[in-house]
Amino acid sequence: MARDIRYQLLIDGEADEQLTAEAAEIQVMETIEGPTTFSIRFATDVCGGDLASINDPRLTPSNSDNLVSVVTVVDGETSCIAHGIITRRRSSIVDGGPGSWLEISCSDRRAVMDREQRVDHHSGKASEAVHKILSNYNFELDIEETTVEYREDDHLLAQVESDLAFVSSVAGQNDFHFWLDFAVSSGPFGPPEVTETAHFKPSPPRPEDAPRGVIPVLHAPDDTIALKLNSADGCSNVFSFEFDDDVEVPNQTGTITRVDFDSAEEDDTTIPSPTTEPLGSETQPRQPRTRRIVTAGSIEEAQVVNRAALNDASWAISAHAETSVHALGGLVRAHDVIKVTGTGSVAAGSYYVKSVMHHINPADHKLSIELLRNAFGE
């Protein structure tokens, strides 16, 4: 079935038809572990011994931080897959002119958060400190509350790095992720509007309706795209699929001891296993692999930090898939939970999308997808 797949470049929120037409290649990397980065290569020529577009203010880093957006439309559904500032430029000049190009590299506005090192101390909950910091960057905020309380007379939450490094570190310590995503809307009387939302919360989302004491199995939503191999009906949509299982990851902490600040008595705890919801019906037994993180602070903080580390390590099953938007009929995005079929009883099932590399040119939109899971089976 023929699909309507298009893309559009926005500069400072306005559609730019000229630059869209001149874009020879677009690459977008979105991941759970860092900023969304992207590059756009423009075909250009040499005029008077200079690249025709080298002084184009739309493609030049400036104090005003021009905002560049990549918008895709797949069968009428619009998505903003990248939005950020120009951080770098590269060019190639070919003798005679034709074949020359100018390429801009961009990053989402997490890059702005990394420009200045700060020294500060925060009391209260980490999520309150994050809310205060992110509010300074005019993001829409989606922040879940953390549990550990930092006190003036006990143990403050210290910041000795940039806002980006601090928020990213605090997210990891609390078994959260910090990321930006983008939505584009078109008003009836004005240009498209891109909204940036800063998320500080667990990913994938944790079910809220599970019985107390029961770890529920996560499943890909029924309405999401599925990666299909070896489909008997001829509807396979994946070019290749690779699978890897690392069995030597930590899976328990052993005893953790802290001295209580108020009572001066020792407190012991242990994290016997990861607490992430399984993305599969079968968890194979593992040999004990003990690791623990030594931190200052209360026993509660030690529990939170060590649980987060074990949960992160539990995503030990990885996979790599190559496909395209034409084959899938839609987009796959970082942080999605999607289903894989046709790979056998062990490898088939729900996967968490770690990263997606988009390769876009006028003829195709290819996807290189990194997947994670913490259990086997469908």
The 10s digit of each residue's pLDDT in 274-322 is 888 888 877 766 788 888 777 767 888 888 888 889 889 889 999 999 9
| CB-based burial label for 89 (10 Å; 0-12, 13-18, 19+) | middle
Is the pLDDT score of 85 beyond 90?
yes
In this structure, how many other beta carbons lie within 10 angstroms of the beta carbon of residue 27? 20
Cα separation, 44 vs 46, whole angstroms: 7
Q: If pLDDT is split at 50, 70 and 90, which confidence band does 370 have?
A: very high
* 282 and 179 in a common domain: no
* 321 and 263 in a common domain: yes
Confirm whether 268 is domain-assigned: yes
* 323 and 216 in a common domain: yes
Mean pLDDT, rounded, of the chain: 87
* 299 and 262 in a common domain: yes
> What token pair was written down for 99?
């074949």
| Least confident window among 32-36, 90-94, 172-176, 188-192 | 188-192
Is the pLDDT score of 211 beyond 60?
no
* 340 and 303 in a common domain: yes
Confirm whether 129 is domain-assigned: yes
Is the pLDDT score of 210 beyond 60?
no
For residue 334, what pLDDT is reported?
96
173, 201, 229 - which closes a domain: 201
- Chain segment 342-367, per-residue pLDDT in tens: 988 888 999 999 999 999 998 999 99
* 250 and 278 in a common domain: yes
| Residue with more model confidence, 139 or 92 | 139
* 327 and 369 in a common domain: yes
* 144 and 253 in a common domain: no
Count of H helices and E strands in the chain? 7, 24
Q: Which amino acid, residue 229?
A: L
* 193 and 136 in a common domain: yes
Average pLDDT over residues 9-25: 93
* 311 and 366 in a common domain: yes
Number of independent structural domains in the chain:
2
> What token pair was written down for 50?
């200079």
Is the pLDDT score of 212 beyond 60?
no
pTM of the complete model = 0.89
Cα separation, 12 vs 196, whole angstroms: 13
170, 201, 232 - which closes a domain: 201
- Note down the domain range covering 166: 120-201
Average pLDDT over residues 95-124: 90
Confirm whether 152 is domain-assigned: yes
* 324 and 250 in a common domain: yes
169, 201, 233 - which closes a domain: 201
* 268 and 217 in a common domain: yes
Would you say the C-alpha torsion 338, 204, 359, 190 has a positive or negative sign?
Answer: positive
For residue 377, what pLDDT is reported?
80
Cα separation, 289 vs 254, whole angstroms: 10
For residue 51, what pLDDT is reported?
67
